[in-house]
Structure 1
Amino acid sequence: MMEAWSPTIVAAAGPKYLAIVKALAEDIRSGRLAPGSRLPPQRALAKHLNVDLTTVTRAFNEARRTGLIDAAVGRGSFVRGSSRPSRGSSLPVLSPSGSVDFSMNMPPQPAEARLAERLEGGLSRLAATPGFLDRMQYQDSAGNLADRAAAAEWLCRRLGPVAVQRVLVAGGAQAALSAVLAVVLKPGNDLCVPALTYPGLRMAAERLGARLVPVECDEEGLIPEAFLECCRARRPRALYLVPTLDNPTTATLPAARRERIAEIARANGVAIIEDDAYGALPPDAPAPFAALASDITWHIATLSKCVSPGLRIAYVAVPGTNAAVWLAAELRAINMMASPLAAALASEWIAEGELDAIVAAIRRENGLRQTIAAETLAGLNFRSHPCGHHLWLQMPSPWRRGEFGAHARQLGLSVIQSDAFAVGPAPEAIRVSLGAAPDGATLQYGLSLLANLLSHPPGAISTVV
């Protein structure tokens, strides 16, 4: 028993609660804290360290998430019975021998979201539903009526009322994008895109034989008058964009720009393909294009970026019932149907309010991670959004993106260079995704390495790390 334990906090940049987690991890590794050791009450530890109780609470929550400790109501917190992390979790990476993935743009999976518990509960309720096995058979390529109705309920919160007949369920946003492009475009058609655009869209458009036409953007996103010039010069068939928390730039188009772009598109006979992957995350996001111009907009809302990529479910709102028939045919050709089990689970979570709770938990975790990023990367030039799980970092001179990427890999850091997004010349920038790191301590460690690397000129960095 070791109720007198007190962490040795080393002064460093970053939140205090992460310093407590690091000290706890080091004391477990060194043997100072043995498996089963009881930790002091949070209030007593906060008083001893002269910090707020909330700081210690956050530290203990982070330690539970990473498998360092267990907690029992009425008994307190204890070092886990094994020095190994629990299944599905990992200890904070605190040495340069580890790796941190900043390349995969996925939402974090915070303990507060209770994903494992909700998965178990949702699947149990579904299995107990009469006729459940019927849901495990082949389904309509547009999704069965119950799942389309649940999708319409989810979408109407941002789009306003939307008829079930105009809503389809797809096996992820990539399948939905490919199917929409196949309906809207023919080989050789021009597709307007932001000058920096989602690589998955580029791949799907190029496979179809469409020509990508870059449109100039600024810090607020696509510039309406640049789009108008493109319409006059090229007569494009469609426009693709991520209007909220753009990938990769994090820009969110203001409401006035959305209205102007919709006006230009309608006047020039241009279809809008709206990739609303992150639209559910900011509570104050402007109205989507599908709410402003439903007659010309193909709206795709995936759950992969606001819940979990494992669901592979995306909801598509199309301009009309004929469009729904055409899109269903393309979805059938691409992957037959969305997973009936995943679709049913998503519908169950929508009906029970679970999906809202998961999104809210991820939104709060994104805010915490963006705070860590802002503190750790202070002084560097980057763009971000408090509800998003990525940021867009400009290379400080004399660094170049390729050179930085090579050095970062030697340190165990993986980032995505601007070349993956650029339709035309690539700027000296990288996308840094914050969601894949298993916990805040690992994130802060990786970002510290990144910031430290950028604080030295390339020539001062040894090629052997």
Structure 2
Amino acid sequence: MTTKIDPNWLAGMLTNPTIRGIAMDIAALIREERIAIGSQLPSVRELAEVLGVSPATISAAWSQLRRQKVIAGRGRTGMWVCGQHVSPRPERFEKIGNFGNTILADMTLSAPDPALLPDLSAALCHGLLAPNLNSYQRTAIIPELEQTVRRHWPYPAEAFITSDGGFDGMYLALQALLFPGSSVAVESPTAARVLDMLDHLGMNAIMVECDEHGPEPEALKQALLQKPTAFIFQPRTHSHTGNAISPERLAELAALLAVHDNVLILEDDGVGELSTHPAISLGRYYPDRTVHIRSYSKAYGPDLRLAVISGSKTCMGQIQSFRHFGAGWSSRILQGALAYLLTDAQTQQSIAHAQEVYHQRRQALADALARRGIYVPENDGLCIWLPVPSERYALVTLAARGIAVQPGERAGVKSGQFIRLSICQLPDHLVEPVAEAVSQIFR
């Protein structure tokens, strides 16, 4: 039986009747088990009357706790305690990959194959020659790396900085450039961690449907009517679908954004150098309000942990200033190492070989599916994005056969049912078993 917390008792336990104070006090009571999991908190109006504060104050406190996944429900009828972990966490991302020890093929994460990553030994030695090594001078980007990336950047950006990976760069940009509570247009599907970031920052995601050429113009047009403060999309190879935006589609999107000159453009080039498509960016049209984030982790190594971000001097200055709350800069050793890798002929041959191997693995699975009557369009990328009759049935069916995949719902998909199968580390001998298991979904 659900226990409803008495509003008078709860008010007596709260020491600070502000939004933050109420949220912190209730979180402490839950952590100390003085409020049990499953308990129903008083309604907004009940607690507001006893505390002598506005209902808006209680609603805002509930919102903070809800974002931390501690409580759930609706404020008018009361909230229920659903957990004791009061630290925020990426819920969608943490759900990926919890399939136990019986999995034959884990195809949930598009993590690079270690055997296809370049040797970092010489690059790291080169990184030790970076200027100002061991200085506490906050170096946004070392000159050598900036000069190197400028040669192949998709537009002549005004300023560059680095971050500790692509998702770190996106999180920094969202925190530094947007207000909490903002509405943000986001392509669908998108990375689960991007949606987790928006949830944590209290931002409203407006999903923009995509086709094989990228975000649909009409879908973006409708999203822009809701006055978002930013638009997030992947301009090169999409991490889920493998599709890439054509120059014609980019021009269409640019035309729509022309009359919405207050919308910040956040571009996530997560596949980076493993893409076989040339880099492309709306920065060609709007350099002052485009933030282009390119990750180098998938091509050069997750432990290299670097991304490069471009934008206006104002935007890059804001992000760099925000970084001063934490580390302040990315390792100059790693920046120097990346600069070396980007110009080293042997490394670039290694990247080209990795592109070819990933393409062969994707094509092998696509061909095996085709032999079973399941069509997969030929494109780029590290995954196969497959429409299915039911995501839930697909997950259960594949898990029963030892195969773990990612459901489309975690990527923000609202229309249709999909699964994502990563081919990054799929060995040859599992191609046929995986294809046969997938075919069972459609019977």
Q: What is the TM-score of this pair, normalised by structure 2?
A: 0.70
Answer yes or no: is 1:338 the counterpart of 2:330: yes
AA paired with 1:382? V
Answer yes or no: is 1:364 the counterpart of 2:356: yes
Distance in 2 between the 1:390 and 1:136 partners? 40
Seq. identity, %? 20
What are the ranges of 5 or more consecutive residues in structure 1 without an aligned counterpart? 1-95, 460-465
Answer yes or no: is 1:123 the counterpart of 2:116: no
Which of 423, 437, 442 in structure 2 is aligned with 1:453?
437
Aligned in 2, Cα 1:290/1:305: closer, same or farther, shift over 3 Å? farther
Distance in 1 between the 2:362 and 2:304 partners? 25
Q: How does 1:32-51 map to 2 (within 5 A)?
A: none
> Which shows bigger deviation, 370-379 or 346-355?
346-355
Which of 251, 255, 261 in structure 1 is aligned with 2:243?
251
Distance in 2 between the 1:110 and 1:155 partners? 29
- Please report the RMSD computed on the Cα atoms of aligned residues, expressed in angstroms: 2.6
Q: Is the 8 A contact 2:239 2:381 kept in 1?
A: no
Answer yes or no: is 1:200 the counterpart of 2:193: yes
Q: Is the 8 A contact 2:239 2:382 kept in 1?
A: no
AA paired with 1:455? S
Tell me what 2:108 maps to.
Answer: 103
AA paired with 2:149? W
| Residues 16-59 of structure 1 deviation map (CA, whole Å, 9 limit, x = unaligned) | xxxxxxxxxxxxxxxxxxxxxxxxxxxxxxxxxxxxxxxxxxxx
Aligned in 2, Cα 1:183/1:108: closer, same or farther, shift over 3 Å? same
AA paired with 2:315? A
AA paired with 1:140? R
Tell me what 1:142 maps to.
Answer: 140
| Residues 296-322 of structure 1 deviation map (CA, whole Å, 9 limit, x = unaligned) | 21000000133222211000001x212
Q: Is the 8 A contact 1:176 1:300 kept in 2?
A: yes
| Residues 233-275 of structure 1 deviation map (CA, whole Å, 9 limit, x = unaligned) | x111110001222132222111111112123223212111000
Tell me what 1:288 maps to.
Answer: 281
Q: Is the 8 A contact 1:108 1:434 kept in 2?
A: no
AA paired with 1:231? L
Distance in 2 between the 1:449 and 1:142 partners? 48
* Residue 179 (structure 1) shift: 1.0
Distance in 1 between the 2:348 and 2:411 partners? 31
Which of 198, 214, 229 in structure 2 is aligned with 1:221?
214
Aligned in 2, Cα 1:456/1:122: closer, same or farther, shift over 3 Å? closer
Tell me what 1:210 maps to.
Answer: 203
Q: Is the 8 A contact 2:123 2:336 kept in 1?
A: no
Aligned in 2, Cα 1:445/1:408: closer, same or farther, shift over 3 Å? farther
Aligned in 2, Cα 1:295/1:124: closer, same or farther, shift over 3 Å? closer
* Residue 279 (structure 1) shift: 4.4
Say which SS state the counterpart of residue 310 (structure 1) adopts: coil
Aligned in 2, Cα 1:409/1:272: closer, same or farther, shift over 3 Å? same
Q: How does 1:241-390 map to 2 (within 5 A)?
A: 241-269=233-261, 270-285=263-278, 287-318=280-311, 320-353=312-345, 355-378=347-370, 379-385=373-379, 387-390=380-383
Q: Is the 8 A contact 1:390 1:431 kept in 2?
A: yes
Q: Is the 8 A contact 2:108 2:404 kept in 1?
A: yes
Distance in 1 between the 2:298 and 2:363 partners? 20
* Residue 152 (structure 1) shift: 4.5
Which of 425, 428, 434 in structure 1 is aligned with 2:423?
434
Say which SS state the counterpart of residue 391 (structure 1) adopts: strand
Aligned in 2, Cα 1:327/1:446: closer, same or farther, shift over 3 Å? same
AA paired with 1:251? N
Q: Is the 8 A contact 1:141 1:329 kept in 2?
A: no
Say which SS state the counterpart of residue 392 (structure 1) adopts: strand
AA paired with 1:154? V
What are the ranges of 5 or more consecutive residues in structure 2 without an aligned counterpart? 1-100
Q: What is the TM-score of this pair, normalised by structure 1?
A: 0.67
Distance in 1 between the 2:190 and 2:239 partners? 7
Q: Is the 8 A contact 2:127 2:332 kept in 1?
A: no
Aligned in 2, Cα 1:196/1:457: closer, same or farther, shift over 3 Å? closer
AA paired with 2:434? L
Which of 148, 152, 156 in structure 2 is aligned with 1:157?
152
Say which SS state the counterpart of residue 359 (structure 2) adopts: helix
Runs of 4+ in structure 1 deviating by more than 4 angstroms, as ranges, are none
Q: Is the 8 A contact 1:110 1:362 kept in 2?
A: no
Q: Is the 8 A contact 2:397 2:441 kept in 1?
A: no
Aligned in 2, Cα 1:418/1:97: closer, same or farther, shift over 3 Å? closer
* Residue 104 (structure 1) shift: 1.2
Count of aligned pairs = 340
* Residue 160 (structure 1) shift: 4.0
Say which SS state the counterpart of residue 402 (structure 1) adopts: helix
Say which SS state the counterpart of residue 219 (structure 2) adopts: helix
| Residues 370-423 of structure 1 deviation map (CA, whole Å, 9 limit, x = unaligned) | 2212222222133452x421110122x5xx222221232233322101111025
